[in-house]
């Protein structure tokens, strides 16, 4: 099974997690671990442009990160979701719960 890679980098005031590969029940642990480390502590952007598939496991991780950010008054943004990631987000019926930026360059200041 193809693995997932989650790279963490700083970009201005944002901590950016760049995800590559499929997010499913076998791979979501790494994403969960890294989002939990940062969610609610920093302004976090999750770059989903490299996501090849995303199941509900990935949505759950993002939702938890969003709720942590809201609780702590931090910002959370999904960046450039791939087509499959966008569809997974839309399937929740609450796309507006996932603030989205079209690219890393267009992250809010």
CA distances from 105 to 6, 14, 36, 79 (A): 19, 11, 24, 10
User: Phi then psi for 11, rounded to 5 degrees?
Assistant: -140, 100
* Nearest distance from C-beta of residue 105 to other proteins, angstroms: 28
Q: Checking DSSP bridges between strand 76-79 and strand 100-101, what pairing results, if any?
A: parallel
How many angstroms separate the CA atoms of 38 and 52, rounded? Answer: 23
Choices 8-16, 56-64, 75-83, 101-109; region in contact with other proteins by CB under 8 A: 56-64
The residue within the footprint of other proteins, chosen from 15, 47, 68, 76 (CB under 8 A), is 68
Q: Is position 71 an interface residue for other proteins (rule: CB under 8 A)?
A: yes
The residue within the footprint of other proteins, chosen from 67, 75, 99, 101 (CB under 8 A), is 67
Residue 97, number of CB atoms within 10 A of its CB: 14
44 vs 104 by CB, closer to other proteins: 44
Contacts to other proteins by CB under 8 A: 1, 22, 24-26, 28-29, 33-34, 36-37, 39-41, 52-53, 55-57, 59-65, 67-68, 71-72, 91-94, 97
């Amino acid at each position: 099974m193809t693995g997932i890679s989650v790279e963490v980098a700083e970009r201005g005031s944002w901590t950016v997690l760049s995800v590559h590969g499929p997010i499913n029940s076998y791979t979501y642990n790494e994403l969960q671990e890294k989002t939990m480390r940062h969610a609610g502590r920093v302004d976090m952007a999750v770059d989903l442009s490299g996501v090849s598939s995303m199941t509900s496991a990935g949505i759950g991780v993002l939702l938890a990160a969003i709720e942590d950010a809201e609780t702590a008054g931090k910002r959370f943004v999904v960046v450039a979701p791939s087509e499959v990631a966008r569809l997974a987000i839309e399937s929740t019926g609450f796309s507006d719960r996932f603030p989205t930026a079209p690219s890393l360059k267009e992250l809010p200041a």
